[in-house]
Amino acid sequence: MNVLEHVPLAPLTTLGVGGPARYFVEAHSESDVREAVQFAQIRDIPLFVLGGGSNLLVSDAGFSGLVLKVSLCGGNCTANGNDVTFQVAAGDNWDAFVAHTVEEGCAGLECLSGIPGSVGGTPVQNVGAYGQEVSETIREVEVLDRQSLPVKTFTNSDCGFAYRTSIFNTTERNRYIILHISFALRRGGEPTIRYADLQKTFAGATGPPTLLQVRNAVREIRRNKAMLIVPGDDDARSAGSFFKNPVIPQRQFEDLDIKLRSRDLILPSFPASDGFRKLPAAWLVEHAGFAKGYSRGAAAISRRHALAIVNRGGATAAEIIALKNEIQSRVLSEFGIQLQTEPVFLGF
Ligand SMILES: Cc1cc2nc3c(=O)[nH]c(=O)nc-3n(C[C@H](O)[C@H](O)[C@H](O)COP(=O)(O)OP(=O)(O)OC[C@H]3O[C@@H](n4cnc5c(N)ncnc54)[C@H](O)[C@@H]3O)c2cc1C
């Protein structure tokens, strides 16, 4: 295990913001991970697990503990008829893995194409997009318990998946280091076309599209919204959506809807769990008066997606936070809704 010191973290994140890590280890094996945990325990310093840094805002001061970048790679696949199980290491690139499953003709992850980051980062917030969530296909998650160091295997239901949450970012936050994940996919299965943008894309088609066509369509929709990382596209220098879509009780939705109709505004919404409605956070942000492209110093709202806060070049974490606070407080005063942030904050 090679321990580095004072390592800049900004280049290891998609937002490109923030200060250094006091200590930094890149783990290529389970024993590296174990040693890193012991290194932090002996010195009694905090440990932060880093994947692809695509859902992360690092403070300007950086992090005074140990950052452990999980770079375990490799995988295998076993089949029982058309039911195929892919076991993948946490450090593998997510989109490359999705591309592989599509090439193999296995359905289940095609709508999650183009999401940056590592395989190990996906269960943490139950990554979802365009009609699929990883919780629909994750079979098991193998983890190292930072408290007592054994390796454990969680089944799907142990993970407590819900909209943008799991035990890994709620009840058991900072306890487990994800090492491997197995996904149960279906060879020859049809792609999922639940999402309106995808339904529109394939509306005139005779017969169902292929998995590859769906993957390409998702990546194209993402590219247009700067939600695909393309070198040189400064609207894609973000942490993805900065705010979650609020889920509010039906009653609160109805009251708000009546209020907004009197201002000639129709509040869009989607069904959520029983007695709740999900609201598009992007609509709330824009109708609170923030146009796409709005900026505050070098921090800005993406010109192509109202939910992404971007670094226009040289932004500080303080500028990003100031813009986030401004958006949250205006949405709260306009609509009475407290927007919850989606990225993880480190070193604040
Ligand atoms: C342009 C863009 C588009 C995006 N689109 C989407 C989208 O459509 N849907 C969506 O859900 N998200 C989206 N995201 C957010 C992000 O890509 C995902 O949440 C991704 O899964 C994060 O993985 P990561 O490896 O980058 O995690 P990091 O950002 O490195 O870490 C995020 C959290 O996961 C934890 N973590 C990471 N790896 C491990 C591990 N091995 N063990 C334990 N904990 C770990 C970290 O400690 C941290 O708490 C987008 C981001 C960007 C920049």
Q: How far apart are CA 63 and CA 20, in angstroms?
A: 6
164 in active site: yes
Q: How far apart are CA 48 and CA 69, in angstroms?
A: 8
Tell which one of 32, 54, 169, 237 to mutate to probe ligand 1, the residue whose CB is within 8 A of the most ligand atoms: 54
269 in active site: no
Cβ–ligand 1 distance for 16 under 6 Å, the answer no
Residue nearest to atom 2 of ligand 1 (CA): 240
pLDDT the model gives residue 78: 98
Cβ–ligand 1 distance for 49 under 6 Å, the answer yes
Please give the number of the atom of ligand 1 that sits closest to the Cα of 120: 41
Residue nearest to atom 23 of ligand 1 (CA): 121
Say which residue the tokens 């407080």 belong to.
329
Phi, psi of 109 (to 5 degrees): -125, 0
CA 44 vs. chain centroid, Å, equals 29
Q: How far apart are CA 144 and CA 103, in angstroms?
A: 31
Cβ–ligand 1 distance for 101 under 6 Å, the answer no
Cβ–ligand 1 distance for 123 under 6 Å, the answer no
Please report how the helices 211-224 and 94-103 are oriented relative to each other, as an axis angle in degrees rounded to 10: 150
The DSSP code sequence of 25-63 is: EEE-SHHHHHHHHHHHHHHT--EEEESSSSSEEE-TT-E
Cβ–ligand 1 distance for 179 under 6 Å, the answer no
Cβ–ligand 1 distance for 117 under 6 Å, the answer yes
**Dihedral angle computed from the Cα positions of residues 132, 136, 142 and 146, in that order, rounded to the nearest 10 degrees:** 70
**Dihedral angle computed from the Cα positions of residues 339, 221, 197 and 120, in that order, rounded to the nearest 10 degrees:** -60
Cβ–ligand 1 distance for 132 under 6 Å, the answer no
Output the pTM of the full model: 0.96
Please give the number of the atom of ligand 1 that sits closest to the Cα of 124: 34
Query: Of 241, 269, 277, 302, which is the active-site residue?
Result: 241
Query: β-strand 132-133 against 128-129: which pairing, if any?
Result: antiparallel
Please give the number of the atom of ligand 1 that sits closest to the Cα of 239: 53
Below-70 pLDDT ranges, the chain: none
Cβ–ligand 1 distance for 310 under 6 Å, the answer no
Please give the number of the atom of ligand 1 that sits closest to the Cα of 126: 11
Say which residue the tokens 């942000």 belong to.
285
157 in active site: no
Q: How far is the CA of 205 from the centre of ligand 1 (A)?
A: 34
